[in-house]
Amino acid sequence: MMLDEAVGRRVCCDGERGTVRYVGPVPPTAGVWLGVEWDHPERGKHDGSHDGVRYFTCRHPTGGSFVRPQKASFGVDYVTALKQRYEVEIEEVTAEEMKISSKTVVMVGFENVKKKQSVKNLTEVGLRRCEVSAPGPENEIRNTTPFVQSLDLSGNLLSSWEVLAAITEQLDSLQELHLSHNRLSISSAPSSLSSAFSHLRVLSINSCALTWTQVLHCAPMWQQVEELYLADNNITELLRPEHVLQALTVLDLSNNQIAQETVLEISHLPRLERLNLSSTSLSEIKFSDVPAGKKTTLFPALKELLLDDNNISEWRVVNELEKLPSLVYLSCRRNPLLHKEKNLETARQIMIARLGQLELLDMRQILSDERRGAELDYCKMFGSAWLRAGGHREAEKNNPNTDFMTEHPRYLTLIQTITFLCPEDLERKPIEKKLPGSMIVQKVKGLLHRLLKLPGVELKLTYTCAKMADREIEIDNDLKPLQFYSVEDGDKILVRWS
């Protein structure tokens, strides 16, 4: 290529990628230099200035340096990279003769292997870090890989969306595109490129130094995209998408320092089912359109929410999540909130009790026994506070104050659901009693009637043990001894009545 066309082009030097910002002399040295802004600023030495003269500008004060043209690679076209990546492998695998020691062995059937591995039949192409910078001769991509559905061009030397579109417009079946670790200059007319991405459903542009404004500007190119991955970009605030991104079901915004007051700007996306806000410095989220205990109209389809590695420290944030109408999966690991309780398992149980629809928490399924136990423990844990706030067993006298109901919006529902629990029992301490394994269940119930002062009440017994901490085992036969159920020293028998 001509050096006078190099400004704006992407280059690779010693494994590091950058963008050419200047071509020309740098006195007092002779010859031509390339002024490069590196993707990783620690690779550079200055901000584009040298000896008091500014040759170009950089985002970072140490993001730039000068290199000689002969030391920089401007990359290769798609088909050249494809052949380098795939045909070398094919030649190695499909040789029809193989020498073992001094003898030549004919490999029967390898012509079939060669046919299967032909690049023309590929539906998935991976050209990650292959220095792809251009499409190559006209229609060569379409003739070489006509059936590609998934393409990985991460970490290459593509300089603009126009260059990329010249590649993808030749891939009529393309549905999945990975572009992470590229620096594409923003198109002035993105809608004109939409035909090059008309079948695209999955787009990954992580670590591309994009702002949300730039994403919205480019979005008319990808009207059919359903999954959009934008982790580790320069997204600091969100704006409401108008007439774009409306088909999104998955959005990943992790590892962006987002102003939390702008998160609700994306809450009107009608089909969004999975949202990743991990590592975004989030500490608060509030749905002010409805009071505690009601369901919000925001994020109407959201089923999965990832909030790992944030600054959430208050249970009121979890209460707000209970307002989401469709939420069934939450990941909230490594947040300060979890360390406010005596251990992580207790924090998990409180979170389960506060979120009634949740089916999966931190990648662990919530079984019905775990939910029942969590909600019972939650009622006991905050029973005293409920009574002090005006709670009462009789419905007409039950009038807990606003502060309590704001802090525990599900509590009244749980008390009504767990019919065996009466307010007086919320403060009851566990009874410690050693029982012989040979003791018949019927006699255990008789003992409990006397200890608990509950004559004539039907008791239901279950027990938990350390070996299966997340399970309650039902004791359902009055004529069997405790040892029949493998009740051991240290196990706890739970008593319920109605």
Of the CA atoms within 13 Å of residue 76, those in its CB half-sphere come to 13
Q: What's the pLDDT tens digit per position in 206-245?
A: 999 999 999 999 999 999 999 999 999 999 999 999 999 9
- Cα separation, 37 vs 18, in Å, equals 5
Question: Is residue 218 a contact partner of residue 195, using CB atoms and an 8 Å limit?
Answer: no
- Cα separation, 232 vs 241, in Å, equals 20
DSSP per residue over 195-242, as a string? GGGTT--EEE-TTS---HHHHHHHGGGGTT--EEE-TTSS-------S
**Whole-prediction pTM value?**
0.79
The H or E element spanning position 413 is helix 411-417
Q: What's the pLDDT tens digit per position in 363-409?
A: 999 999 899 889 988 988 898 899 899 988 777 888 899 999 999 99
Residue 210 makes CB contacts below 8 A (sequence gap 6+) with: 230, 233, 234, 235
* Residue position matching structure tokens 């584009």: 48
- Token pair belonging to 255: 């590892």
Cis? peptide before 28, omega within 30° of 0: yes
Q: What's the pLDDT tens digit per position in 418-429?
A: 644 444 454 456
- Cα separation, 314 vs 335, in Å, equals 10
- Cα separation, 239 vs 237, in Å, equals 7
The H or E element spanning position 90 is helix 88-93
Tell me, what's the pLDDT at 102? 45
Distances (CA, A) of 137 to 76, 133, 195: 12, 13, 20
- Token pair belonging to 246: 């409306």
DSSP lists the bridge partners of residue 10 as 19
Q: The dihedral of CA 69, 70, 73, 75: what is its sign?
A: positive
Q: What's the pLDDT tens digit per position in 57-107?
A: 998 999 999 999 999 999 999 999 999 998 755 444 444 444 444 444 444
Question: Is residue 389 a contact partner of residue 407, using CB atoms and an 8 Å limit?
Answer: no
- Token pair belonging to 423: 């307010």
Q: The dihedral of CA 229, 232, 234, 237: what is its sign?
A: positive
- Bigger pLDDT: 102 vs 304: 304
- Cα separation, 341 vs 357, in Å, equals 22
Q: Can you give the length of the chain in residues?
A: 498
Tell me, what's the pLDDT at 464? 83
- Cα separation, 82 vs 126, in Å, equals 9
To the nearest 10 degrees (0 to 180), the angle between helices 344-354 and 368-381 is 90
